Structure 1
Amino acid sequence: MTAISNGNYFKVRGKDLYVEVYGNADAYPLLYLHGGPGESCYEFSYHQAERLKEDFRLIAIDQRGVCRSEKIQGNEHFSIDEIIMDCEALREELGINRWALLGHSFGGYIALKYATMFPDSITRIVFECPTFDFGLSSRSLLRKMGEICKEEEMGGLGEKCFMLADSDSTAKELMLKFIEIRPEIGEKGMKIHVHNFSHKTDYSRYTDGEWKRFLERSNVHVNRLIGGGEMFESILSSLKKLKHPSLLIRGQYDPVTSKEQVMRYQEDVAVANVLTFSNSGHFPHSEEPDKFSKSVVEFLK
């Protein structure tokens, strides 16, 4: 199912923010927060905008400095809080009193921080394969990569992954090691995050040159977040502060939302629901798109 882009630019806190809006203006507002960091909303909108726009006023953004949004400059202050403040300013700009959040992966991290900073702006939250602790997620990712290496008879590299996962390295060190090793297993590395390859994303809306330019912007966003280090602070303790009804959607084969994080969510969140998609990895919204949209509608409506 292909979404027709409803993209536009909003001047938000001095920066051009790329925003897509789908559905009726008086429908239940839902903000999509992409992961990565630096992933963009393109892939989500491609698979879900047409499915969700009948029930929601779906707002999907490329976060500050990502892909189609204005580039972050070298002397510009930037942090996770800047992303959250952008969301708040956009909510006011769109005339929305309160909205629901749908945060994928790192977007789930942002959604939890947003809900604790501005609880009165949020109605409900859908966490899709979130990370609340980059250390736990990175260890789990390294173990998954180790398993794939063993399957592909790359035993030495697999052992290296397992040793790193069990080491006392910091969250930042673990993530950087994962990023460093990942290219060594080539296309097989897709299996770390994706289980069901049935639903492809068409990226031909933009040229290769445009995607290259978008990637360069996103890399600045990612490098600034990694350099700042804030994203490596665990926010698992914030789950106890979450009073909004929430749903955690996880893929059975997703390594990012590790078992420890699912357990903490179930134990600490006052109104918590967990759905496990049996034919998905890290992207239920594109691996099982119809089931995903139905689950979101049922929970939010």
Structure 2
Amino acid sequence: MPTITSYDGTAIWYELLGEGPPLVVLPGGPGMDLRYLADLGGLDRRARLVVVDARASGRSGVPEDRRTVAFTEQARDIEAVRAHLGLDRIDLLGHSAGCLTAQEYAAAYPGRVRRLVLVAPVGRVSREPDESELAELRARRTAEAWYPDAAEAYRLIVAGGATGAELAALHRRITPFFWHHWDDARRAEHRPEHASPHAWLREAFYAGSAGPATRDARLDRLASVKAPVLVLAGASDGMIGTAPARAAAACYPDARLEVLERSGHRPWVEEPERFTELVSGFLSDVPG
């Protein structure tokens, strides 16, 4: 089985895809099964993808101590992956919530990350969307047939009170907002079984960003990262918008931001050629 044993005995599942220089890949969610990433739009033809299921997610083990699921703690699992691969330094890519773990790893293990790619990051130290930007992005979709139902579902989510299966159903109804273009092909991308079955996981994952003092300290640590950083955002991302990506890029001394104009939250699906061109170019252009 393709697993490694992390520092506390938790089994961490990973898969290898493609050929070329290794690129460690962290899924989002939090808690999404790595299989939703597929081959990252063909990026496996440019790099050897080492795609890792986070603890308590996908086919990785569930730790006894839920506190270790915080993204600040999961950096230790990435260090275990690096050691298992026998690499002095790694190239690291995170998607969505996985970007928080990727950023934490780069700050916690100085010099271990050679190149860092953040795809649709949710923020720098927590989930940090700009609600006014999200409202504007969603308002642009009012002429689409699915809009009334998605807008009503979003209203019910914001109102609170929905839990369990009811809340999951509401989130499925707002899925069109996450895409630049919504059609049958995009519907097929939504796989409920890829989401985490653990109701506690989301709160545990974001626990690492609690408190203003913690936030300020983490921002200072991120600014100390010397590795080159590529940040990608989808211009039509109605899930988090582009504000978190812009903020993430601004906090690093050597960062580049690219906004893909015909993409939502999964740019490797909607603009695969552009996505792979940007990422592979960045990985190969930066001196080792």
TM-score normalized by structure 2? 0.76
Measure how far apart 1:158 and its partner are.
6.8
Measure how far apart 1:240 and its partner are.
2.3
Q: Does 1:96 align with 2:79?
A: no
Matching residue within 248, 260, 274 for 1:291: 274
Q: 2:86 aligns to what SS in structure 1?
A: coil
Matching residue within 31, 34, 44 for 1:38: 31
How do 1:25-104 residues align onto structure 2 when only pairs under 5 Å count?
27-44=20-37, 46-48=38-40, 51-73=42-64, 77-104=68-95
Partner residue of 1:10? Answer: 4
Measure how far apart 1:20 and its partner are.
0.4
Q: How far apart in 2 are the matches of 1:154 and 1:89?
A: 41
Letter in 2 for 1:99: I
Matching residue within 96, 102, 112 for 1:121: 112
Q: Does 1:240 align with 2:223?
A: yes
Q: Does 1:20 align with 2:19?
A: no
Q: How far apart in 2 are the matches of 1:155 and 1:75?
A: 34
Q: How far apart in 1 are the matches of 2:66 and 2:16?
A: 31
Q: 1:195 aligns to what SS in structure 2?
A: coil
Letter in 1 for 2:35: Y
8 Å Cα contact 2:138/2:177 also seen in 1: no
| Greater per-residue helix proportion | 1
Deviation digits for residues 46-78 of structure 1, max 9, x if unmatched? 2427x2233322100101111211123367754
Identity %: 22
Distance 1:58 1:179, change over 3 A: farther
Matching residue within 170, 181, 184 for 1:196: 181
8 Å Cα contact 2:153/2:171 also seen in 1: no
Q: How far apart in 2 are the matches of 1:123 and 1:188?
A: 39
- Give unmatched runs, 5+ long, in structure 1: 1-6, 165-173
What is the RMSD of the two structures over their aligned residues, measured on CA atoms? 3.7
Q: How far apart in 2 are the matches of 1:137 and 1:272?
A: 20
Measure how far apart 1:222 and its partner are.
2.8
Q: 2:31 aligns to what SS in structure 1?
A: coil
TM-score normalized by structure 1? 0.73
Tell me the number of residue pairs that the alignment of Structure 1 and Structure 2 aligns.
Answer: 269
Q: 2:45 aligns to what SS in structure 1?
A: coil
Matching residue within 235, 242, 245 for 1:252: 235
